[in-house]
Copies of this chain bind each other. A is one copy, B any other.
Amino acid sequence: MSQPQFAGIIAYPITPFNADDSLDLPALRAGIDRLIADGVHAIAPLGSTGESAYLSEDEWTAAAEASIRHVAKRVPVVVGISDLTTRNAVRRAQFAEQAGADAVMVLPISYWKLSEQEIFDHYAAIAQAISTPIMVYNNPATSGIDMSPQFIARLVREIDNVTMVKESTGDIQRMHQLRELSNGEIPFYNGSNPLALEAFCAGATGWCTAAPCLIADLTLALYRATQAGALSEARELFYKQLPVLNFILKGGLPTTVKAGLKLQGHDVGAPRRPLQPLSAEQTERLRALLKAVA
């Protein structure tokens, strides 16, 4: 495997909104600063956690530019540029590249079911429009499209700047297959929080996660333990943080992470409608979970 661009904890910031539902860029910058101060290895704005799908085109552009500029090469930035149409995904990819992104992440999005050829050509069109490395992102639960390991391996093999894979199905066998299909040459990143321990054990290069917004130290410690081969310690660290990981996943990442940030004193507003803020009852549950690992 060629040296991947980044390894370890790839942190997904939320996108803060003001009370009038407009973008809150100062809060966005503050969130990035906290993640970098905590020591995460890369920042991934405008992913699922960043409510990218709920932003207007102008908002997406403003958030992308502000994020890339504010990180300012302190760590690598991988920008989510997914869009339902190929035309707009290309536009976003080009914008991200020009603004200085280190990589772009592409989730194919379904309304009408796409054939593999349609998905392939979507990636190819984006790849041809930029020279920045591309991370393939598979997450059928949000996108409605499930790419097989065989198809993903083909994307990496046949399109030059498709170089990384983020797998979010939570099915560890997908990672086994990616490894076998590429003789271990494709760097794969885990996007399923409750699979963090096992993905690292199976050889994942990194963990793409919103959890560092709330518990950065635990995610980093888990990564270090697995890299050091300290399996018992890694297992303890994992089971310690698992209740938080499960909670934020099941409640929806923007919803729960925004609630958690507020509990930690950072006002980042509510998720955008139709998403609603976490209920009072669930917020108390989150408070208890965060306290238990503090």
CB neighbours of A142 from chain B (8 A): 110-112, 144
In the complex, identify which listed stretch (A27-35, A93-101, A252-260) lies at the interface while the others stay far away: A252-260
Which residues of B lie under 8 Å from residue A276 when comparing CB positions?
Answer: 115, 117-118, 121
A86, chain B: closest CB distance, angstroms: 4
Rounded to whole Å, the gap between the CB of A227 and the closest CB of chain B is: 9
Interface residues of A, CB < 8 Å — how many?
57
Partner of A198, one of B172, B229, B230: B172
B274 touches A85 (CB 8 A): yes
- Cβ of A203 within 8 Å of any chain B Cβ, yes or no, is yes
A194 and B179 CA atoms in complex are apart in Å by: 14
> In the docked arrangement, what's the CA distance between A143 and B187, Å?
32
Report whether A274 and B194 are in contact in the complex, using a CB–CB cutoff of 8 Å. Answer: no
Task: Tell me, yes or no, whether A54 is within 8 Å of chain B by CB.
Answer: yes
Q: Is the CB of B53 within 8 A of A114?
A: no
Q: Which A residues from 34 to 73 make CB contacts under 8 A with B?
A: 48, 53-54
- A159 adjacent to chain B (CB < 8 Å): no
**Those of A207-232 within 8 Å (CB) of chain B:** 226, 229-232
The residue that A231 contacts in the complex, of B170, B231, B242, with Cβ under 8 A, is B231
Nearest CB in chain B: distance from A94 CB, A = 16
Known: A114-B275, A229-B232. 14 other contacts (CB 8 A): A48-B112, A85-B274, A110-B142, A113-B141, A114-B274, A117-B276, A118-B276, A142-B144, A144-B144, A180-B239, A198-B201, A201-B201, A229-B229, A229-B231
